[in-house]
Amino acid sequence: MSNAIQIHADQRSSVQSRVWLGFLASTLLAAAGRNGYYIASAWTLVAAGYGSAGVATLLAAVSVVEFVASPLAGAAADRFDRRRLNIAADLGRFAILLATACTLLCLDAFLTLCLSAVLFSFCDRVALTASQAMIPLATRGADLATSNSTVFFTMQLGSLGAALLAGSLLGGRSPALTFAALALFFLFSAASLSWMRLALLPQGVRTAKGLAPNIDKHLLRLFAAYALLYGGAVLVTVVGSSFVFEEQTGTAADFSHLEAAWSAGSVIGAAVLVRLTRAISGHILQLMLLASTALALMSLIALHAPWTLIVFATLGFVYNLGRVSIEVTLQSRVPDNVLGRAKGVMHSLAVALGLIIFSIAGVMGNSVFPSTIFFGFGVVLLISVPALSIRIAQRKDEP
């Protein structure tokens, strides 16, 4: 009898490992495709002469779609099978990138990439929400900090690989080739998810109704911290290419080095989270990371390469550390049957801040140095830290 129980336990552990490996493989491939897509889009627009204003306009369109799609994607992740939802979104991204590659050969880059980004961002938001809401299900009782650190570590490895690959593909080659190559990552991601066994993923998430969970002031503080960290990442995406191309007089290879530095810092940030969460509370850690982001952004106004690479590596480290910390806090506070919608609301608030950033960058265009925009947002972050600290102090005073 004991041998039969042991065999059953070994089989269950083996299948669970298969699920986890398939999930991590999908995370790695999708992250490479996603990061590569936005790097290629930003550089293609800048190289075509559209500058920061063009990149900001494209990402503003993306943000509008994400703002609308995030709550809907969250509701879908809570109602439908998350694995199948993710597979469908991966196949959608694969088809969109192939169509983008073909269209770039004959149409204007700006119009092509704007339409492509709108379609891509909808599928991307569905995939990200479903994938991240799947983490507690795929790990089945494992420590949340360790599980999320592993997932985000894998995600940033994919982003790092994409940054290096995009730089080599974009240098002296047609952008269409880059987008066609990146499309394959999403096809392989869908295949990795198909390898997972559906029966292992609980289906009890279907009973939830509505588009938004109950949100208290503590979740609002968490959402605000996420929005501010997300805003810093958005700013790097919008202004980073112009910062390299115009202010630093760099090349496509230099831009890929900047993205690689960000991704390398992000990899380290995901790796050290578990130790930090044991030494410091999540609330204090998030405030420290916001202040560190502010100082790093403000320092760019006075630095040149290679010091700027160190700063962007620091920004990537801080961003991913904060992002994983927030994910762990959210998953520990919100029941699984409303986790997708909570993530949708949180991301919508972050996207709203991103839209403000895009609007400012679009209006300023090329009339202001990118480093000045970095400095200004750093000041905003410094001002926000005391405001969020007050909420924490009030929470400590509560009985």
The predicted-structure confidence for 114-134, as pLDDT tens digits, reads as follows 999 999 999 999 998 888 888
pLDDT of residue 237: 73
Label residue 1 by pLDDT band (50, 70, 90).
Answer: very low
pLDDT of residue 4: 41
pLDDT of residue 93: 95
Total tally of structural domains belonging to the chain: 1
Query: Each residue of 269-298: pLDDT tens digit?
Result: 766 766 666 666 677 888 888 888 889 888
- The C-alpha R_g of the chain, in whole angstroms, comes to 21
* Residue 92 · residue 100 · CB < 8 Å: no
Q: Which residues are CB-contacts of 20 (< 8 A; sequence separation ≥ 6)?
A: 138, 139
Query: Each residue of 67-88: pLDDT tens digit?
Result: 888 888 888 888 888 888 999 9
pLDDT of residue 176: 85
Cβ neighbours around 128 below 10 Å, total: 22
Lowest mean pLDDT among 212-216, 246-250, 309-313, 377-381: 212-216
Alpha-helix runs per DSSP H in the chain: 2-47, 51-79, 82-104, 109-133, 135-139, 144-170, 175-195, 217-242, 252-279, 282-299, 307-333, 339-364, 370-397
Domain encompassing residue 39: 2-397
pLDDT of residue 353: 79
Nearest CA among 364, 351, 357, 355 for reference residue 53: 364
CATH number, domain of 303, equals 1.20.1250.20
**pLDDT averaged over the chain?**
78
pLDDT of residue 399: 40
pLDDT of residue 141: 59
Does pLDDT of 97 surpass 90?
yes
More confident position, 346 or 143: 346
Q: Which residues are CB-contacts of 67 (< 8 A; sequence separation ≥ 6)?
A: 348, 351, 352, 355
Calpha distance 138→317 (Å, rounded) = 25
pLDDT of residue 15: 45
pLDDT of residue 82: 85
Query: Each residue of 44-54: pLDDT tens digit?
Result: 888 777 776 77
Instruction: Give the mean model confidence (pLDDT) for residues 245-267.
Output: 75
pLDDT of residue 189: 92
Q: Which residues are CB-contacts of 52 (< 8 A; sequence separation ≥ 6)?
A: 46, 238, 239, 241, 242, 246, 361, 364, 365, 366, 370
Query: Each residue of 184-214: pLDDT tens digit?
Result: 999 999 998 887 764 444 444 444 444 455 6
Lowest mean pLDDT among 28-42, 104-118, 178-192, 357-371: 357-371
Query: Each residue of 218-240: pLDDT tens digit?
Result: 778 888 888 888 888 878 877 77
Instruction: Give the mean model confidence (pLDDT) for residues 166-171.
Output: 73
Does pLDDT of 320 surpass 60?
yes
pLDDT of residue 357: 73
